[in-house]
Amino acid sequence: MDRSTPVTDLKGIGEKTGQLFQKIGVRTVGELLAHYPREYETFQPPVPIAEASPGQVCAVYAEVASVLRPKKVRRLTILSLSVRDRSGALQLTFFNMPFLKNVLKPGGFYLFRGLVQSRGAARVMEQPKLYSYEDYRKQCGVMQPRYALTKGLTNQAVQKAVRQALSLYRFEEEVYPEELLSQNDLISRREALNAVHFPEDRAALLRARRRLVFDEFFDFLLLLRQNKDLSAALPNSYPMYETADTVRFLEQVPFSLTRAQKKVGQELKEDLGSPFCMNRLIQGDVGSGKTIVALLALLMCAANGFQGALMAPTEVLAAQHYETVCGYVKKYRLAFSPVLLVGSMSAKDKREACERIASGEANLVIGTHALIQEKVAYRNLALVVTDEQHRFGVRQREHLAEKGKDPHVLVMSATPIPRTLAIILYGDLHISVIDELPADRLPIKNCVVNTSYRPKAYEFIRREVAAGRQAYVICPQVEEGELEDVENVVDYTERLRSALPADVQIAYLHGKMRPQDKNRVMEEFAARHIDVLVSTTVIEVGINVPNATVMMVENAERFGLAQLHQLRGRVGRGEHQSYCIFVSSREQKETMERLQILNRSNDGFYIASEDLKLRGPGELFGVRQSGEFSFGLGDIYTDADVLQAASEAVETVLAEDGSLSLPKYRLLRQRLEETSGQQGVDFRTI
Ligand code: ADP
Ligand code: MG
């Protein structure tokens, strides 16, 4: 059994279960083993009821005191009972499990485990899990993996499949030479894969992560460094000079550039006219106004008779950039002749777009990775700008270079990265920072609340909508069943529709929708036909709807602070006061304190570093910090030390043997060839 063996070869996985696995992106055994747990749960010994405090998941061993008759509320059957031990009493509620009435008899002792919540003076546990004392004792203290699931697929089933796969898997030979392993404190992949799924303890899990994350970073950096062209100072094949166009454009737009925007604009101008090809990164917090600076460079490019390309990570974002540019062209008579090129366009539209690009009639091409497909031939591509996705830039740069003679490259990023990491991740890119927000912005008002605040939040959204504004509501998952106890976009939309007046237009957006549908929803939202947009984090990347003033995030405790900050950046983009409501369904002190950091600061850089301080590396495994750098397991912030180590290891290897032709690097070279063959694998297709 190896990487490519279909999961349906495992015992107990037939065609039907196989389809469920496919839904979570698992077709092969290799993919199953890389379906890392989202989190781990360790059962703690039962506590006396008096110590079961709200906001915490607890286990209690208690006697059933009384069972009420099941109540019907709409489609729900609610069974309530009260249990007690010597220290106190607790309410339990079960939904749609009326049969428990016959199982849980007054006077019987059971072990219940669940989230304790306060309801007025009383404490309740909703939908607790039931265990026999013996069973619970056996599982106590063991870290249990929790996987991303889908409806119909239980955590138990995934666990079983993984266990089986681990025992039958033929592990590949070690690709690193021995000294690299020992210098970097790396365990074998075999041990790592076993421990990441079934860790003995925290320490074992951290060791496992270290190895797996190291591999991800190492591959990425090796590919990056191997591409020598990226770091060499190439001659400027497309020298550009300022024309009247940019000056006139700036005179016309209804705002003046910030000091930081001007500074960066100047740096770009100097690059484009210098003897060397531009290779630059613009780092600027969300809302700092990166787009217009890039447009100035693209305008210079067009005015000098060249073509420019603007690439976005998603169709939604590409379409939005296109709209913005078209708006500017119409209003200010810019020298752009823009064309949109995205995957979901009809074959005919694509062909027409390509013709305009090939003839040179279009001088600004805006799109997603469809842009760099083989078929697209440019007339004279001189500048490539990539927005909000670094990997997009790096991986594709070599392909772009083939399209023309080394175009200038500009990468825009909102991910705040400390300088040491930036040097590793961006290599030789020059870095410009927009460290200032436009002055007319009102600071966003934030609050961190628990779920009991929801009715007030809905009322607030209703009032904002009545005043002509719009709102986002973010849920961590798309539909029911992926994770337990977590809000999902589809059901939440329904609930919101019944909580808000009928004339409030509510729609949803998530990554599993077809690109056309996503584009349509975003267009409708931008055109104000939709008032409230319920979405997953797909809208985290770059969307600009200045009329939106409310950002409500459900299960905020599940997101990294840097990511929440990105989400917050979707509001506060216009002249109106904006608001952020972070709803935490865990009332634990640490969770609330962590979220309070967002309250205190509006500085992405500070937030990311504080977040790290509060929760050492490797904590909160499921939390993703950076959407831009998407690795399977690794996170550039929490695994910064591993990133550093991988970077040094890559340098050492390449210094010794730049072409990886020594026998000890044979397997490494093979793996590199495999990964570099997987074009486009890492694109987040949102
Ligand atoms: P980001 O850096 O997050 O990509 P955008 O470029 O989308 O930010 O800019 C956010 C909003 O701010 C846009 O509506 C843009 O028109 C506006 N904007 C940009 N620069 C300025 C400025 N100097 N003054 C006022 N508004 C600006
Ligand atoms: Mg942007």
Which amino acid makes up residue 7?
Answer: V
Residue range 13-25: mean pLDDT, rounded = 93
Relative to the alpha carbon of 284, which ligand is closest?
A: 1
Residue range 606-633: mean pLDDT, rounded = 62
Which residues touch 480 (CB under 8 Å, ≥6 apart)? 151, 488, 490, 491
The per-residue pLDDT for 617 is 43
Residue spans of beta strands (DSSP E) within 443-595: 445-450, 470-474, 506-509, 532-535, 548-553, 579-584
Tell me the CA–centroid distance for residue 317 and ligand 2, in Å. 9
Residue 499 token pair: 């909580």
Beta strands across the sheet bearing 381-387: 338-341, 364-367, 307-311, 381-387, 408-413, 279-284, 430-434
The answer to whether residue 83 scores a pLDDT higher than 90 is yes
Fold of 234-434: Rossmann fold (3.40.50)
Fold of 445-601: Rossmann fold (3.40.50)
Q: Which of 239, 225, 237, 273 is nearest to 403 (CA)?
A: 237
The answer to whether residue 141 scores a pLDDT higher than 60 is yes
Q: Which atom of ligand 1 is nearest to the CA of 546?
A: 14
Residue pair 362/322 in contact (Cβ under 8 Å)? The answer is: no
Relative to the alpha carbon of 541, which ligand is closest?
A: 2
Query: Which of 68-82, 324-338, 446-460, 657-671 is predicted least confidently?
Result: 68-82
The per-residue pLDDT for 392 is 44
Residues 22 and 27: their CA atoms lie apart, in Å, by 5
Reported confidence tier of residue 636, pLDDT bands at 50, 70, 90: confident
Q: Whose CA is nearest to atom 4 of ligand 1?
A: 290
The per-residue pLDDT for 593 is 82
Q: Where are the domains of the chain?
A: 7-41+143-199, 44-139, 234-434, 445-601
**What one-character DSSP code corresponds to residue 68?**
P
The answer to whether residue 230 scores a pLDDT higher than 60 is no
Residue pair 46/125 in contact (Cβ under 8 Å)? The answer is: no
**45-51-55 Cα angle (round to 5):** 90
Q: Whose CA is nearest to atom 18 of ligand 1?
A: 289
Tell me the CA–centroid distance for residue 289 and ligand 1, in Å. 3
Residue-by-residue DSSP string for 432-450: EEE----TTPPPPEEEEEE
Unique residue bearing structure tokens 């010794």: 656
- For the chain, the average pLDDT equals 86
Relative to the alpha carbon of 547, which ligand is closest?
A: 1
Tell me the CA–centroid distance for residue 664 and ligand 2, in Å. 44
The per-residue pLDDT for 403 is 66
Which residues touch 83 (CB under 8 Å, ≥6 apart)? 49, 60, 62, 63, 64, 65, 89, 90, 92, 110, 112
The per-residue pLDDT for 684 is 25
Q: Which residue has the higher pLDDT, 542 or 387?
A: 387
Q: What values do phi and psi take at 282, rounded to 5? A: -105, 115
Residue pair 328/273 in contact (Cβ under 8 Å)? The answer is: no
Highest mean pLDDT among 276-285, 405-414, 436-445, 456-465: 456-465
The per-residue pLDDT for 440 is 77
Unique residue bearing structure tokens 């509060």: 614
Unique residue bearing structure tokens 């469920």: 20
Relative to the alpha carbon of 387, which ligand is closest?
A: 2
Between the alpha carbon of residue 667 and those of residues 174, 209, 632, 645, the distances in Å are: 8, 22, 21, 20
Site to probe by mutation for ligand 1, drawn from 250, 573, 578 as the one with most ligand atoms within 8 Å of Cβ, is 573
Residues 115 and 128: their CA atoms lie apart, in Å, by 7
Q: Which of 183, 182, 195, 192 is nearest to 215 (CA)?
A: 192
Q: What values do phi and psi take at 118, rounded to 5? A: -100, 135
The per-residue pLDDT for 611 is 74
Tell me the CA–centroid distance for residue 310 and ligand 2, in Å. 12
The per-residue pLDDT for 470 is 97
Q: Whose CA is nearest to atom 19 of ligand 1?
A: 289
Relative to the alpha carbon of 291, which ligand is closest?
A: 1
Residue pair 33/162 in contact (Cβ under 8 Å)? The answer is: yes
Residues 208 and 193: their CA atoms lie apart, in Å, by 7
The per-residue pLDDT for 391 is 52
Neighbour count for residue 566 (Cβ, 10 Å): 27
Q: Which of 42, 52, 45, 56 is nearest to 590 (CA)?
A: 56
Residue range 373-390: mean pLDDT, rounded = 81
Q: Which atom of ligand 1 is nearest to the CA of 544?
A: 7
Query: Which of 404-413, 475-484, 507-516, 522-531 is predicted least confidently?
Result: 475-484
The per-residue pLDDT for 619 is 47
Tell me the CA–centroid distance for residue 540 and ligand 2, in Å. 10
The answer to whether residue 394 scores a pLDDT higher than 70 is no
pTM of the model: 0.72
**What one-character DSSP code corresponds to residue 6?**
B
Tell me the CA–centroid distance for residue 609 and ligand 1, in Å. 25
The answer to whether residue 645 scores a pLDDT higher than 90 is yes
Residues 352 and 357: their CA atoms lie apart, in Å, by 9
Query: Which of 27-41, 116-130, 363-377, 538-552 is predicted least confidently?
Result: 363-377
**108-112-115 Cα angle (round to 5):** 150
Residue pair 118/451 in contact (Cβ under 8 Å)? The answer is: no
pLDDT tens per residue across span 551-588:
999 999 888 888 888 889 899 888 899 999 999 887 77
Residue-by-residue DSSP string for 598-641: HHH---HHHHHHHHHHHS-TT-STT----SSS--SS--TTTTHH
Reported confidence tier of residue 21, pLDDT bands at 50, 70, 90: very high
Q: Which residues surround ligand 2, an ion (CB under 5 A)?
A: 542
Tell me the CA–centroid distance for residue 72 and ligand 1, in Å. 52
Tell me the CA–centroid distance for residue 293 and ligand 1, in Å. 9
The answer to whether residue 626 scores a pLDDT higher than 70 is no
Residues 267 and 290: their CA atoms lie apart, in Å, by 13
- Confirm whether 234-434 and 445-601 share one CATH topology: yes
SS in 3 state form for 320-382?
HHHHHHHHHHHHHCCCCCEEEECCCCCHHHHHHHHHHHHHCCCCEEEECHHHHCCCCCCCCEE
Q: Whose CA is nearest to atom 20 of ligand 1?
A: 289
Which residues touch 131 (CB under 8 Å, ≥6 apart)? 59, 110, 111, 112, 113, 139
Tell me the CA–centroid distance for residue 568 and ligand 1, in Å. 15
Reported confidence tier of residue 228, pLDDT bands at 50, 70, 90: low
Residues 670 and 681: their CA atoms lie apart, in Å, by 18
The per-residue pLDDT for 484 is 64
Residue pair 254/309 in contact (Cβ under 8 Å)? The answer is: no
Site to probe by mutation for ligand 1, drawn from 281, 544, 566, 567 as the one with most ligand atoms within 8 Å of Cβ, is 544
Residue range 248-264: mean pLDDT, rounded = 93
The per-residue pLDDT for 474 is 95
DSSP bridge partners of 341: 367
CATH superfamily, region 44-139: Nucleic acid-binding proteins (2.40.50.140)
The per-residue pLDDT for 618 is 43
Residues with a CB atom less than 6 Å from ligand 1: 255, 257-258, 261, 284, 286-292, 414, 438, 440, 542, 544, 546, 573
Which residues touch 122 (CB under 8 Å, ≥6 apart)? 91
Reported confidence tier of residue 373, pLDDT bands at 50, 70, 90: low
Torsion of CA 542, 485, 614, 421, to 10 degrees: -40
Burial 158-169 (b: 16+ CB within 10 A, else e): bbebbebbbeeb
Tally: H helices and E strands in the chain: 23, 22
Between the alpha carbon of residue 466 and those of residues 457, 461, 580, the distances in Å are: 14, 8, 18
The per-residue pLDDT for 677 is 56
Residue range 460-474: mean pLDDT, rounded = 97
pLDDT tens per residue across span 486-495:
888 999 999 9
Between the alpha carbon of residue 406 and those of residues 107, 142, 236, 391, 476, the distances in Å are: 79, 55, 8, 18, 41
Relative to the alpha carbon of 318, which ligand is closest?
A: 2
Which residues touch 678 (CB under 8 Å, ≥6 apart)? none
Q: Whose CA is nearest to atom 12 of ligand 1?
A: 289
The answer to whether residue 678 scores a pLDDT higher than 70 is no
